[in-house]
């Protein structure tokens, strides 16, 4: 377990890079936090770490998943906020992503909690005020 305090979106991206440098192909990271907590900002930081344009990282709200192809590995970015049934995840072949050749980040994993591997890592982002966030990283 590691705990961070972020004072800005940029600091959240830097924290994400600290996490990213420990990740390897096959890892799954569940991102918890309210609307506007900074989950997408966190994924932007990961993308930056792998030299991917952070501007191209946008919430995959309508597509469920975006793939960012980097030199090192694929980043699969899920946002489950709008799913209505776990079937939607089976239909896109969630297993291929979770057990695929990249790292997975999942916003709103609580929408399909029992499809998430129990060995997944967790990032919990709590809003303290407009610009401050507490970020907890939990690994097994």
> Quick one: which of 11, 28, 31, 40 contacts Mg ion (CB under 5 A)?
40
Strand ranges of the sheet holding 65-69, from the earlier edge strand across to the other edge: 2-6, 133-138, 121-127, 28-32, 102-107, 74-79, 65-69
* Residue 48, binding choice from Mg ion, ligand ATP, none, Cβ under 5 to 8 Å by partner class: none
Minimum CB distance to Mg ion, residue 76 (Å): 14
Would you say 95 or 113 has its CB closer to Mg ion?
Answer: 113
Asked if residue 19 lies in contact with residue 49, where contact means CB atoms within 8 angstroms, the answer is no
Interacting residue ranges for ligand ATP, rule: CB under 6 A: 6-9, 11-12, 33, 35-41, 59, 107, 131, 133
Minimum CB distance to ligand ATP, residue 101 (Å): 25
60: CB partners within 8 A, 6+ apart: 66, 77, 78, 79
Start-to-end C-alpha separation, the chain? 9
> Quick one: which of 19, 23, 29, 39 contacts Mg ion (CB under 5 A)?
39
């Amino acid at each position: 377990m590691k705990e961070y305090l972020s004072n800005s979106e940029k600091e959240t991206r830097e924290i994400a890079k600290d996490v990213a440098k420990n990740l390897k192909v096959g890892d799954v990271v569940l991102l918890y936090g309210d609307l506007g907590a900074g989950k997408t900002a966190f994924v932007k930081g990961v993308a930056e770490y792998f030299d991917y344009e952070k501007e191209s990282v946008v919430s995959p709200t309508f597509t469920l998943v975006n793939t960012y192809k980097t030199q090192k590995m694929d980043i699969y970015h899920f946002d489950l906020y709008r799913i209505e049934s776990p079937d939607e995840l089976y239909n896109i072949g969630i297993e291929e992503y979770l057990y695929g050749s990249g790292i997975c980040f999942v916003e709103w994993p609580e929408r399909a909690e029992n499809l998430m591997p129990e060995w997944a890592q967790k990032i919990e982002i709590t809003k303290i005020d407009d610009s401050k966030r507490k970020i907890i990283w939990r690994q097994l």
